[in-house]
Structure 1
Amino acid sequence: MYQKIVANTPKFLMFDLQPLIDNKNFIFGADYILIRPKKNGCILHLSSTQIPLAVGQLVLLAPFNPFKISVEAVNNKITVGDALHFRLNALGQTFIDSIQFNNIKNMLDHAKQGLLFESEELESLFEIMDNIENTFDFKQLLNILMLLDQLTKTKPQQILETHQLAFATTKRTENRVDLVLQYITTNLAEPLTVTIVAQQLHMAESTFSRFFHTHLGVTFRQYLIEQRVKQAARYLVSTDWTIAYIGAEVGFSSLSNFNEKFKTLLHVTPRHYRANHLSLRENIDNSQSIQGQLQKQFHQWQTNVVV
């Protein structure tokens, strides 16, 4: 029985296990998807390509690869397997960029063309999938990571060629994400709002909010606050500017608001943060040293941020 939980809730960002059934329409989502057929007779449609699937196989698809499943059965609503949707943004960029995650990241990059696995080694992966449930237990996160890690040790049986539309759409999406992040960085001191930034992408506010949360894993407001606090922390270490000036420089409307948001994220006031990191000023002429030390602070901070 599937303990179904809506996957796009703020508290449920990592994965969503769904039954694999016949789909009349193509699914075009922002998640990675692992497809595991449990019955023969399934056909995977990737744009104009059709791939028959069988028990014992596993398919990995990257985001924005449009697909659908057709089932050779009288009752096309019968559950024929599992579809495990998962997303990286819930892990945080620091974790994704870590050396330990490198093999998984490389595998997921290759999944843009679709990967079909078929091996006796998949049995241990299927056991992990059988233990995955849509719950908030920490062990479910470990199951997902263990599943991906073991999958990197299995060579794909086939690379599935998808229609070029999927690649073009993925590239356009990546460009849009880059554009909005660059705009936020460049205009951090300005009174940024969803309306203002949505206009840069020619999107309605509601559409932009969904787009931003899907691809960044946090709301626009939360991301903006995090970036302002991070930039403020850099200024606290690398300049002699006053606390009030720094708060205004990174876009906070008042000193009290700056102090509140800074303390919420870093668990210390701007004044105490500067005092606690005076040792970094010894390398004030070495921007790389400062950046490296600050990055360590932000790595620790990101693991504790509550969205």
Structure 2
Amino acid sequence: MQIRRLPRHEKIHVTGPLSFALREFDLPAFDHGWHQHPEVELTWILEGSGLRHVGDSVEPFGPGDFCLIGANLPHMWSSPPRGAGNRARSFVIQFDPARFGDAFRQLPEMARINQLLAEAAHGICFGDDGASLRQLMEQCRTPIQHLTRLLEVLDSLVDHPRKRQLSLAPWHPVPNRKTDPRVERALAFIAQRWDQPLSQAQVAMAVGLSPAAFSRFFRRHVGRTFQAYLTEMRMSFATRELLETDRTISEIAFAAGFANLSNFNRAFRAIRGMSPREFRRRSLAPA
């Protein structure tokens, strides 16, 4: 299922001696909005947390989050401003594969990178392994070193042990639908409260709609019901916690915003087809 919002087209400006953009951002919050661009993007989160939207994937993110976003795949990292002293820092590389030229991309040495870029049409997460990317790029002293190092990084990601697809399907934008600013307000409101008791009526009030009108509005623009969207975010968080931490299932359930363990187990089984305990056991069992 896909988020039914027409993404804003962003123009990436590349200046200087490099053929790609390499930048570090330091902002009060991640609030760039739902957008897309023909450039492939590598993003490593240095500081900040919130929700990462990539195609039809919605997941919590935090420091260390490292992703590859394919060409024209809509995405956004969103976080509410949390007052003075809080930061939203990221290290970003954006490049257009078309600039390599057909002859270069057809070289046999490019086969693995071409495979990775094809997979990136869904968006890829690599866990929290972005530190090496920044270190490698900062060691470069000449433009050609930057380019060859970028190719080396991409090649190394093909076999990354924590590589995980994000969006269930490549993005196909829905035509003739204008972005409604109330969508962004609703998503921002949810992003601040998804791990707390949260009702559709609360979000509806925050954007100035009745619960019934908001229900239709949300499904039309986001492509799923409010409850399905909220459960998806909570399940994404819970899944990551089950795989990457030693927290108990009860701790994870309450941290994900569920009122009790029974509700969490029921929701998890409905989505994953097994209990959280069985999911953790199978996922972490030696191959």
TM-score category of the 2 structures, normalised to the smaller one: 0.3 to 0.5
**Superposition TM-score, scaled by structure 1 size:** 0.45
**Superposition TM-score, scaled by structure 2 size:** 0.47
More helix by share: 1
| Rg comparison, structure with higher value | 1
